[in-house]
Amino acid sequence: MSILHLLIKSIKLLPIKAEFRMKEIKLEFNLKTSPAVLFSRISNPSGLAEWFADNVKFDGKIVSFYWSNSSQQAEILMTVPDKFISFRWLDMDPGYEFSFDIVKDELTGDVSLIITDNVDDDDATDAKNLWSSQVAKLKQAIGS
């Protein structure tokens, strides 16, 4: 047996570490507001501090979110005014991103906020509940 075959065989026998699988969750919330008002609440420090975190600071494309006992930083990946903003958590592996997408129905005029979040598969239910709770605060802040 060649060295290559022995190496391949030994690699197959190594124990496999348990790994989390990433899962994309997508949530849609209808809001009674305009895309411009909603965008201001998802894309600037004072707007995000009304519902997402206790305090928010922007330094270029780096956003610092502060809660009572913790803080976390994210990078703004892409922004389309009045339509979309996406973030990537800096302290997590690549792929852990979340985004806010504003969709206005042209026929009815209804405005929806679509939140897409990449989370560990085991955390999907908790993440959905957290987003629902946070969006309830957002609705209250904009009077929706």
Whether 124 is in a domain gets the answer: yes
Confidence at residue 19, expressed as pLDDT on a 0 to 100 scale: 58
Residue 1 lies in a domain: no
User: For residue 7, is it within any domain?
Assistant: no
Rounded Cα distance, 133 and 127, in Å: 10
Could you tell me if residue 68 is inside a domain? yes
Cβ contacts of 40 within 8 Å, gap of 6 or more: 47
| Range with lowest mean pLDDT among 43-47, 87-91, 93-97, 125-129 | 93-97
How many Cα atoms sit within 13 Å of 114 on the Cβ side?
12
Least confident of 2-11, 36-45, 55-64: 2-11
Question: Across residues 82-111, what is the average pLDDT?
Answer: 93
**Residue 3 included in any domain:** no
pLDDT at 23: 86
In a domain, 5, yes or no: no
> Is residue 10 over pLDDT 50?
no
pLDDT at 95: 83
Give the structural domain span for 94.
Answer: 21-142
Domain containing 45 — which CATH number?
3.30.530.20
Q: Per-residue pLDDT for 18 more than 50? A: no
Asked whether residue 53 is domain-assigned, the answer is yes
Q: How many domains does the chain have?
A: 1
pTM listed for this prediction: 0.81
Contacts of 103 (CB under 8 A, 6+ apart): 111, 112, 114
